[in-house]
Structure 1
Amino acid sequence: MSLQKISRIPASSLLSTVHDIRWLLRSVTPLAVPNRALVQSEYRRPGQPREDKPPWQKIKFDLSKGLEGVKKHFKLLRQEFADRLVGPEGKPIIEHMLEQNRVIWEFRGPESLQNWTVSSDREIGGQSEIYLKLGRNNDTCFLYGTLCSAPPRDGETRYSGYCTMRSKQPLVSFDRKTHHDWSSFNTLHMRIRGDGRPWMVNIAAETYFSHQKDDIYSYFLYTRGGPYWQDVKIPFSKFFLTHRGRIQDDQHPLWLDKINTIGFTLGDKADGPFQLEIDFIGVCKDYAHTEDFAYEVYKRNPEV
């Protein structure tokens, strides 16, 4: 029994056929599979355009500034090693163990304001304004501005009207992240003077997963108003977990050994001017407060 003759395809025709198939797949693939950038895009604030600029185009190369930065960071590295030899956070071990109060931020000059940043809904097209400067005697922080809850006319943003002040992420040599260790304390202590508006105190701790980067622990700060100062003490057990402004059902205590930043947010929907003056922000150890966590913690799959 004879086999049928198999027609041979020329090599040039085979290559052209493969090229046509590849071109067809490239034209069809975007319709079936979404773009990688759209799938893994970061969170974008409403009212802000998408930023398509690659990260390497944001870097500014300057040789002189680079050499100055190397000298600066090697000095910081030397100081970091010297502090490690002395004790925790550059203090003797006995002083660290017996410490009852610690001032974290105090405002005694223009350089103290460089550790803070302010923002408002003007970044997304709103009309609120916030400014930061030193007080009358250059020994306090004076936060003032105007709050406006009118949303921007972009067809996307529904709510607006906030002003916030936040500390910067602490860094060590070569821009490595470090954290505030408040595990020896249980209370936040501040000396403030406000105008009667309620504020929100926000504490951001280090997280392990990328989807938790917007997790913040918050609590309320009520100012009395008037010319008198008030000492405010808020136990860390009172802070509750929020994610992008929404209170979470699953609550956890605050990790006091990995504190990144602290901030103050105003958004009470009362349009008009505001002001808040801060003398210092610190932590203390209150032996009368024995509460671990003020909110109910649900157990998943509890033991029967």
Structure 2
Amino acid sequence: MSLPKLTRLPSVRLLSSIQHHQLLLSSIAPPAAPRRAVSQGEYRRPGQPKEDKFPGQPINFGFSKGFQGIKKHFTLLKKEFSDRWVGPQGKPLLEHMLEQNRVIWEFRGPESLDQWTVSSDREIGGQSEAYLKLGKNMNTCFLSGTLSSTPPRDGETRYSGYCTMRSKQSRVSFDRKKHNDLSSFNTLHLRVRGDGRPWMINIATETYFSHQKDDIYNYFLYTRGGPYWQDVKIPFSKFFLTNRGRIQDDQHPLWLDKVNTIGFTLGDKADGPFQLEIDFVAVCKDYAHTEEFAYEVYKRNPEI
């Protein structure tokens, strides 16, 4: 009768030892994996609004929403046809031909701020902050914040520290892009009041190939600081071509017939508060300026 008890003893010890090891393993917390500051994905230009949509997010196909969309787009389409009869952009043809100054963006109310997007390196895990609001007289745009060049602790990003303000892409009926035709002008006119920091002006035009979607034209804006306003006139011939912040070897003049957006970027590596006040962004025709392009252009097929 004692033989069965002896045969069961090793199995009982084995089960008890397994349960003991399971209790020990459950009491030990697993090592926490380092969290990245931002998920790795497709490159997004600073200032471009991000799409907060999940892959499986349902789409609203309601009748009321569809009716409102149809009403909106047909109203815009009607305005397009009426403007064509009056003249370009709703102006008489003679006035359009003799126009020498045009205000593209100005700030005359809270609705004007909806045409702009503000971003910083906080999107990639940085510590910079940027805020946009109207000035004290409600007729200007006031961009302020704090710049920090401390890179995010994700193990990959080595450089950081930028704040940017960028105009949104204008749309017409059926979500078609609306381009600004500035081919009649040759100078960018700004009225700003800064704090002495150097800024970068970014102009984005319509591209024809997919690899050109990150092409942008840049030039510098030097603010002198102080309480007085500063009128800045920059010829379009001074803008140079970059791609994701890298200056390209193959340069060409700015395409003025299809200008989409304009932006202002601060990244001078000087940590601390900043501010920039903008009254308007305009273009003008300077007849004294005859330069076509300020940089060397390489010929693809050199003459023999």
Counterpart residue type for residue 208 of structure 1: Y
Q: Give the counterpart letter for 2:102 in structure 1.
A: R
Seen in structure 2, the aligned counterparts of structure 1 residues 172 and 52 have a Cα distance that, compared at 3 Å, is closer
Paired residue secondary structure (2:112): helix
Q: CA deviation at 1:89?
A: 1.8
Does 2:186 align with 1:154?
no
Distance 2:57 2:175 in 1: 20
Instruction: Give deviations 1:124-144, integer Å, cap 9, x for gaps.
Output: 100000000000010000000
Instruction: Tell me the CA shift for residue 69 of structure 1.
Output: 2.1
After superposing the two structures, state which structure 1 stretch, 263-272 or 90-99, moved more. Answer: 90-99
Cα gap change, 1:239 to 1:59, in 2 (>3 Å): farther
How do 1:5-20 and structure 2 match up within 5 A? none
CA distance in 1, matches of 2:58, 2:242: 32
How far is 1:44 from its partner?
Answer: 6.6
Deviation at 1:65, TM superposition (A): 2.8
Correspondence 1:46-57 to 2 at 5 A? 53-54=54-55, 57=57
Q: Aligned pair in 2 of structure 1 residues 157, 63: CA closer, same or farther (>3 Å)? A: farther
**Could you say which residue in structure 2 is the equivalent of 1:257?**
257
Specify the alignment match of 1:296 in structure 2: 296
SS at 1:250 equivalent: coil
SS of residue in 2 equivalent to 1:234 = strand
Aligned equivalent of 2:202: 202
Q: Which residue of 1 aligns with 2:131?
A: 131
Which residue matches 1:70?
70
Q: How many percent identity over aligned positions?
A: 83
The Cα shift of 1:64 comes to 2.5
Question: What letter corresponds to residue 165 of structure 2 in structure 1?
Answer: M
SS at match of 1:273: strand
Structure-1 residue corresponding to 2:11: none
Tell me the residue number matched to 1:97: 97
SS at match of 2:76: helix
Aligned to 2:165: 165
Structure 1 pair 60–131 and aligned structure 2 pair: CA distance change class (3 A): farther
Aligned-residue CA RMSD (Å): 1.7
| Alignment partners' CA distance in 1, 2:138 and 2:61 | 37
| Deviation for aligned residue 1:59 | 4.0
Residue 270 of structure 2 aligns to which amino acid in structure 1? A
Structure 1: unaligned runs, 5 residues or longer: 1-40, 46-50
* One-letter amino acid of the counterpart of residue 296, structure 2: E
Q: Read off the aligned partner of 1:106 and give its amino acid letter.
A: E
Deviations 1:178-199 (A, max 9, x none): 2000000000001000000000
- After the TM superposition, which parts of structure 1 deviate over 3 Å for at least 4 consecutive aligned residues? 41-45, 51-54, 56-63
SS at match of 1:237: helix
Map of 2:186 onto structure 1: 186
Q: Which residue is equivalent to 1:177?
A: 177
TM-score (norm 1): 0.82
Task: Say yes or no: does 1:109 pair with 2:109.
Answer: yes
Q: What is the distance in 1 between the residues matched to 2:44 and 2:116?
A: 23
Separation in 1, partners of 2:268, 2:159: 12
How far residue 58 of structure 1 moved from its aligned partner, in angstroms, is 6.8
- The AA in structure 1 aligned to 2:243 is H
Q: Secondary structure at the match of 1:69?
A: helix
Count matched residues: 258
Local SS of the residue matching 1:142? strand
Question: Relative to structure 1, is the Cα distance of residues 284 and 59 closer, same or farther in structure 2, using a 3 angstrom cutoff?
Answer: farther
Whole-angstrom distance in 2 between the partners of 1:267 and 1:63 = 47
What amino acid maps onto 2:156 in structure 1?
Answer: E
Amino acid paired to 1:297: V
Q: Which residue does the alignment assign to 1:216?
A: 216
Asked if 1:244 is matched to 2:244, the reply is: yes
Q: Larger deviation: 234-243 or 73-82?
A: 73-82
- Quick one: structure 1 residues 174 and 44, their matched pair in 2 at CA, closer, same or farther if it must change by over 3 Å? closer
Alpha-carbon separation, structure 1, partners of 2:164 and 2:184:
28
**Deviation string for 1:212-271 (max 9, x for gaps)?**
000000000000001000000000000000000010111010100000100000000000
TM-score by length of 2: 0.82
Q: How does 1:225-244 map to 2 (within 5 A)?
A: 225-244=225-244
> Over alpha carbons, which structure has the higher Rg?
2
> How far, CA to CA, are the matches of 1:66 and 1:191 in structure 2?
42
User: Which amino acid in structure 2 is aligned with residue 175 of structure 1?
Assistant: D
Counterpart Cα distance in 2 of 1:43 and 1:145 = 24
